[in-house]
Structure 1
Amino acid sequence: MAQPFTLAHIGYMLDGLLWTVILSALAFALGGVAAFGVMLLRISRFRAVRLGAFVVVQIIQGIPLLVILFAVYFGLGIFGIQVPPLAAAGIAMMIYSAAFLAEIWRGCVEAVPRTQFEAAECLALTRWEALTKVILPQALRLATPPTVGFMVQVVKSTSLASVVGFVELTRAAQIINNSTFQPFLVFGIAGALYFAVCWPLSAWSRVLERKLHVGRH
């Protein structure tokens, strides 16, 4: 027998939204750290290092996030390692985020005019000093809009974590719908909550893009 939709259900969905935000922040923070390291490998002076990093990134980008989630959650279980749903989702999304952010940031670093590298060499800066003091500050300005835009994808991708039993917003909506049988109402509210989180990020990304465009003319 279907249960009526109540404010308690709204509260449960808000709890799911909170865990969606937590998982997104966890994936973005850990993925960002890993992405920075991968980005450095992608711009290495050594061709073998660049090629190895390229192959790894292409493999990860070519595998659906859902498959990565299953591999982490169920694959590690084969070796007797029990991974909690939050940890499995966080690791999988960290891997996914790192691959894409690394390429975004690599493109921004390489978009910095070559003359900036040459100027750093003329100042007798080491490669690391040139990166940290000259190149990365300029690349950061270029990378901010697409990075913020990618955050929207991360938030929406957290919905896949429901397949490993992690109760984020989508899973909370599924559980509520199973008892209320009101899919249009339940998932409509879930969609509105996703929109409430993602739209400000998208708008912020567009504002940053406009500012960057204006600043270059």
Structure 2
Amino acid sequence: MVEFTDWDIFRNLALAARWTVLLSIIAFIGGGVVAGILLLLRMTKNVLLVGLVRVYTEVFQGTPLLMQLFLAFFGLSLLGIDIGAWTAASLAMTLFTSAYLCEIWRGCIDSLPKGQWEASRTLGLNYFQTMRYVIVPQSVRVATAPTMGFSVQVVKNTALASIIGFVELTKAGTMLNNATFEPFKVFSLVALFYFAICYPLTRYSKYLERKLNVAG
């Protein structure tokens, strides 16, 4: 039987934590890009495109991320597409994140006074000029804090990727627990690692909220 010291447990969890962070970054950046495209389509006057984006967001928001991970990993394999746990986790997390970011950003744009659009038309600005010079700069200010706040949820959601064999922080903790039979020690350290990742994001989100002072 292999003996694990406290340092061995800590070191292995630290190594796994980097994959949690990397998956979170991929999901957040990839989800942001997809969400931006969806938002542009959602704001068009094309009924079909608006309907498709609405269905997309409702499907990914209305179904568990766990099921989406299963479908990405096992579903694509059934279709003959060979996909690894890393790729499946990145794909599922990106699509899940994009649905929520799209709705967050759409809500921020909708929160702007309607007079901004009317004033832009009065000045002779077209739709794209209005978005670039008037709407987007203001909505970014409104959306920054909630977007950073949602990033904490993205980090915690990566724990579900362990179900398809992706070795991140939770999966590593489970494997170490099976080897050491010390669940309290192992999962206490896992919780501390998640806290160390999420707490700075939470504090930064609150800092941005105070700094931007959108409500004021």
Same structural fold, with TM-score higher than 0.5 when normalized by the shorter chain:
yes
TM-score, normalized by length of structure 1? 0.95
**3-state SS of the aligned residue for 1:104?**
helix
Letter in 1 for 2:6: T
Deviation at 1:82, TM superposition (A): 1.2
Tell me what 2:189 maps to. Answer: 189
- The CA distance in 1 between the partners of 2:155 and 2:91, in whole Å, is 15
Bigger mean CA deviation after superposition, 35-44 or 11-20: 35-44
Alignment of 1:40-189 (within 5 A): 40-189=40-189
Contact 1:35 1:102 in 2 (8 A): yes
Aligned-residue offset at 1:124: 1.9
Deviation, 1:171, is 0.7
Check the 8 A contact 1:5/1:180 in 2, yes or no. no
Which residue matches 1:38?
38
CA drift of 1:2 comes to 7.5
CA gap of 1:216–1:157, structure 2 versus 1, over 3 A, is closer
Identity of aligned residues (%): 43
Residue aligning to 2:206: 206
In structure 1, C-alpha distance between the alignment counterparts of 2:91 and 2:132, rounded to whole Å: 28
1:48 is paired with a residue of what secondary structure? helix
**Alignment partners' CA distance in 2, 1:66 and 1:81:** 20
Which has the larger displacement, 83-92 or 43-52? 43-52
RMSD: 1.4
- Residue 48 of structure 1 deviates from its aligned partner by 3.4
Letter in 2 for 1:139: S
Point out the more displaced range, 134-143 or 123-132.
Answer: 123-132
Partners of 1:2 and 1:181 within 8 A in 2 = no
When structure 1 is superposed on structure 2, of 2-11 and 174-183 the one drifting more is 2-11
Per-residue deviation, 1:216: 4.3
- Give the count of matched residue pairs: 216
| In structure 1, C-alpha distance between the alignment counterparts of 2:148 and 2:105, rounded to whole Å | 12
Aligned residue type for 2:95 = I
